[in-house]
Amino acid sequence: MSHSETHILKFGGSSLKNASLINQSANIVAGHMQKAHPIVVVSAIGGVTDTLIELTNLDQKTEHKSCRIINDLELRHRRIFDEVASVSHPNRGDLQDLFGRLRTTFDDKSLKSEHYQAWKDQILSIGERASALIFSAALSEQQIESTAHESSHFVKTDSTFGKARVQRDATRKLIRKFINQSQAVPVITGFIGSNEKQQITTLGRSGSDYSAGLIADALDADHLEIWTDVDGVLTADPRWVPDAESIEQLSFGDISELSAHGARVIHPKTIQPIQNKKTTVLVKNSYNPEHPGTLITSDFDTNGSLKTIAITGPFVRLQIDQKYAYDLFEKLNKWSADNPNTKPIEFRQQSEFEAVRFSLKQSFFEDIKEQLSAWAAKQNTLFNLDDNLYKVKKFSNQFNKGEQLSGRVISLLAKNNIQPLHTERNYDERFISFLLPEDEARRAAHLINNAISKTKPVIDLFIAGTGAVGKTLLNQLNKLKTTDIEFRLIGTCNSRNTLWNTDGINLDTTLNWDEAEQTNWDTLLDKLTKNQHRDLIFVDATGSEEVARLYPKLFANTIHVVTPSKLANTFEQSFFDKLQSLIQKHHSSFNYETTVGAGLPVISTIEELQSTGNKITEISGVVSGTMTYLFNQLEQDVPFSKAIADARKKGYAEPDPRDDLSGEDVARKFLTLARTLGIKIEREELQVESLIPKELKDVDGKTFLGKLSDYDSEWKQRIRSAQERNETLRYTGKLKDGNITIGIESVPQDSPLGQLKGTDNLIQIYSEFYNQTPLVIQGPGAGKEVTAAGVLSDILKTVEQLT
Ligand code: ADP
Ligand code: ASP
Ligand code: MG
């Protein structure tokens, strides 16, 4: 064989889990043979190292389990062997011998007691040695000549069992000697080496990647491929952030830094041996081999594209009175010195007067717990403990280029009410790190990942209410084309049923209510607040008081609300104040533009005028489309009772028209306007003229509609007398000097109010700048299409406020 290129192909345990994955891996090797000389490095079969560790942890009480564990392991390997290779292959006998050796070693009580770590490494080495035998036999099955090699023959290390340090020069020479490239395809065990006494050592968990790097260096490989179970290096650990995305390309420096800080997709030392070489490294997914994976090269200029999150932990945080801090610091150092694999301490003191804080690896803390308690008891002091803490670290090349980015990440967390216990940002490092309890860490990782991902951020939506507005909104959402964000409808409900789908409900098909559960607002709230991974907007299209009363809990959980319902803003003033303070405190947002004038930009206009320091002095006009319609009909001689019946038929009026005629709807709109301006006012303080005849206030709906015609002539009279003065009637409201008056007003026929048609609204805003002629907002103030469109634009506005 004389190929110009050398390719190292490393298969992780997850790529060797069963016969079909091993066969696929063997095919990959075959594929490389076309153009290169492949050299294979294998991990133990997935899960095997964990089982071997379990074996070494058995004590006197549990030792009887060892036989079963070893037998099961042997059986698992033999089964896989028989599926991928022929029973006559010589490696089958070697595999059997290997398990014989495992039993002998396990029973070697004197080695175990004299040098437990050496004994342990011998046991752990079985995993890689077994998988090399199997893989090599699988290649033979494909007519590829191959030899299995135990790397303990050429990877030389010191005697730090469990995490041995490699002697690079000796190792390089020996690899060159043993792995003769003109031979059959070598299949080499990862993870293991040997010390000067030829005792087997291991390189630390995930060490096979490092072995592959060492071999790539010694053989001057052109290419190193690492086959694992994810689409390359991702923007975050997928077990924490399922949305994490694959990164196309990275530099050697980037990946070394990422893995050193806990992005454990490859061993932190993998690149070290080849860092001055031109070897290309490719991380690929055995479960999705078509995916291009991540290409890592020495000189790639990441130029800002290194954007990743690593999560490490768990940690515990100890706080102690500073009197005792120095002594504790010394003790911790001493205890950790006995334990070379734990670098435990961060020493933090916020100010002279505060308790001193230490954070340590939880596993280390478990080891020293008793000593620590004994120490504290002796000092007659107590320490405060938080456990299950994780560090979320965000990496970016841009950190070197200024502070903006860290500010953005910090405020992103603040906006979502995540308060890190500790934030770390070193001057010249490329990351910022946050210490958080587990749940918060998960949420923070999601939020940051969303914010940094190259594709659009995802915003979750829940839509309550599937009446006219809710349904129209769903349609509009489905048609919405956004380029920079993606909405995911995680649920929708009406008063009876609730549909959930955390992956997003498909809006192309009609909703399948067969899969719904019964609506229960408490459980619903629970579900919304727990497992909240992204920004969530709750749309209340219900008009239900019970739902409006849920807002405080939503805001307290930083769930944003968009609603066309007037209720929440028009309960007692104290409720309104409570909402505002929760919104402030928890960085939630509340958009309710459609509560006044449907799709017209009334609320946003007054907010904008106010925020630019333009004091609003008066708001007046018609804010009820139903009333505009009613008086238009009266102008045209339509009897009062018929006009109301028609308004009901056309869907302009509420089913019980008294809800409109009472003026309640207009009152709530003006109350909302006033409170939005910061005026404190209760509903009872409004003067509202009702169009409902006193005698008909309390009768049932049917009697009410039946009796209405009794008032036709009175109304005919009222409109006529106005018309005789070239005027007409309108139902208007006025907010001025903190007072609200609502009722019938006679206005000139040729005035803007007099000219109103259809279901139009007309709102006039007087302010310090607009004190002669008001700023006028006019247009359709009702209808499900305009209202739903207004709600949608509030949703988009919320997103703008978030990102
Ligand atoms: P193998 O068996 O192939 O050696 P490992 O389990 O050692 O696989 O490493 C792959 C795992 O690393 C992934 O399944 C993933 O859970 C984890 N991981 C952590 N951080 C990252 C990251 N940033 N990108 C990709 N994978 C990551
Ligand atoms: N088998 C070892 C482990 O599970 C080494 C490796 O997989 O790289 O850690
Ligand atoms: Mg690994």
The domain made up of 602-779 is a member of CATH 3.40.50.150 = no
pLDDT band at 394 (very low <50, low <70, confident <90, very high): confident
Largest CA distance in the chain: 117
Mean pLDDT of all residues in 405-423: 81
The Cα–Cα gap between 445 and 241 comes to 7
Please say if 331 is a catalytic residue: no
Report yes or no: 238 and 230 within 8 Å, Cβ to Cβ.
Answer: yes
CA of 264 to the centre of ligand 1 (A): 6
- CATH fold, domain 308-436, is VC0802-like (3.30.2130)
Residue 259 CB–ligand 1 contact under 6 Å: no
Query: Residue 779 pairs with which residues in a beta bridge?
Result: 761
Half-sphere exposure of 662 (CA within 13 A, CB side): 13
Q: What is the pLDDT of residue 305?
A: 53
Q: Which residues contact 319 (CB under 8 A, 6 or more apart)?
A: 355, 356, 357, 383, 384, 385
Mean pLDDT lowest among 428-432, 523-527, 551-555, 784-788: 428-432
Q: Which ligand is nearest to the CA of 205?
A: 2
Measured by CA distance, the residue closest to atom 4 of ligand 1 is 12
Q: What is the mean pLDDT of the chain?
A: 90
Q: What is the domain class of 6-228 according to CATH?
A: alpha beta
Q: Among the residues of 380-421, which ranges form H helices? A: 404-415
Specify the pTM.
0.64
Report yes or no: 51 and 106 within 8 Å, Cβ to Cβ.
Answer: no
CA of 795 to the centre of ligand 3 (A): 43
Residue 524 CB–ligand 1 contact under 6 Å: no
The Cα–Cα gap between 499 and 461 comes to 12
Mean pLDDT of all residues in 653-677: 90
Q: Which of 48, 49, 120 to mutate to test the pocket of ligand 2 (most atoms within 8 A of CB)?
A: 49
400, exposed or middle or buried, with CB in 10 Å at 0-12, 13-18, 19+?
A: exposed
Q: What is the pLDDT of residue 475?
A: 92
Assess whether pLDDT exceeds 80 at residue 429. Answer: no
| Nearest residue to 38 via CA among 221, 295, 275 | 221
Q: What element of type H or E holds 584? A: helix 573-586
Mean pLDDT of all residues in 340-355: 63
Distances (CA, A) of 642 to 593, 660, 755: 32, 15, 22
Query: Which atom of ligand 2 lies at the shortest distance from residue 12's CA?
Result: 7
pLDDT band at 302 (very low <50, low <70, confident <90, very high): low
Domain residue ranges of the chain, discontinuous segments joined by +: 6-228, 308-436, 458-596+792-802, 602-779
The Cα–Cα gap between 423 and 415 comes to 16
Mean pLDDT of all residues in 615-626: 94
| Nearest residue to 437 via CA among 315, 529, 579, 300 | 315
CA of 50 to the centre of ligand 2 (A): 9
CA of 449 to the centre of ligand 1 (A): 17
CATH superfamily assigned to domain 458-596+792-802: NAD(P)-binding Rossmann-like Domain (3.40.50.720)
The Cα–Cα gap between 360 and 318 comes to 8
Share of the chain above pLDDT 70, in %: 93
Residue 44 CB–ligand 2 contact under 6 Å: yes
Q: Which of 229, 246, 254 to mutate to test the pocket of ligand 1 (most atoms within 8 A of CB)?
A: 229
Exactly one of 669, 734, 736, 797 is catalytic; name it.
669
pLDDT band at 70 (very low <50, low <70, confident <90, very high): very high
